[in-house]
């Protein structure tokens, strides 16, 4: 089993739709969680950290479920510009971060 797993998609949604991604992790000692966005042939860019109580940044909401060992990302009112690959990242202490393989999102007009 991979340490961090994501549904690769692709998710094809119309503009204005709400879409949710999940990411599961296997190490119960994991401490820090992040979502990154990566556009084609570009570097990953930090989208948001994921806090235990859940957190929101505009149209984006991140949640953590420690009992079931997954994090989620909800995107409301999808825009064409949201089309990208979304990577979850998990730190289990120290400097090592494990990235999921990413979920591809296509938002269509």
The phi-psi region of residue 41 (left if phi > 0; otherwise alpha if psi is between -120 and 50; otherwise beta) is left
16 touches another protein (CB under 8 A): no
42 touches another protein (CB under 8 A): yes
Q: Could you say which of 100, 103, 105, 107 contacts another protein (CB under 8 A)?
A: 100
65 touches another protein (CB under 8 A): no
Q: 13: Cβ–Cβ under 8 A, 6 or more apart, which residues?
A: 19, 78, 105, 106, 107, 108
- Structural tokens at position 41: 């042939």
d(CA 38, CA 102): 9
Q: Could you say which of 12, 18, 49, 65 contacts another protein (CB under 8 A)?
A: 49
CB closer to another protein, 44 vs 105: 44
Q: Which residues bind another protein (CB under 8 A)?
A: 31-32, 34, 41-46, 49, 87, 89, 91, 93-97, 99-102
């Amino acid at each position: 089993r991979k340490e961090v797993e994501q549904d690769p998609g692709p998710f094809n949604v119309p503009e204005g739709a709400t879409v949710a991604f999940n990411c599961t992790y296997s190490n119960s000692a994991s401490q820090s969680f992040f979502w990154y966005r990566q556009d084609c042939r570009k570097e990953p860019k930090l989208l948001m950290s994921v806090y235990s109580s859940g957190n929101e940044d505009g149209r984006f909401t991140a949640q953590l479920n420690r009992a079931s060992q997954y994090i989620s990302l909800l995107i409301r009112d999808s825009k064409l510009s949201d089309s990208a690959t979304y990577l979850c990242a998990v730190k289990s202490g120290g400097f090592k971060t494990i990235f999921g393989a990413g979920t591809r999102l296509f938002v269509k007009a």
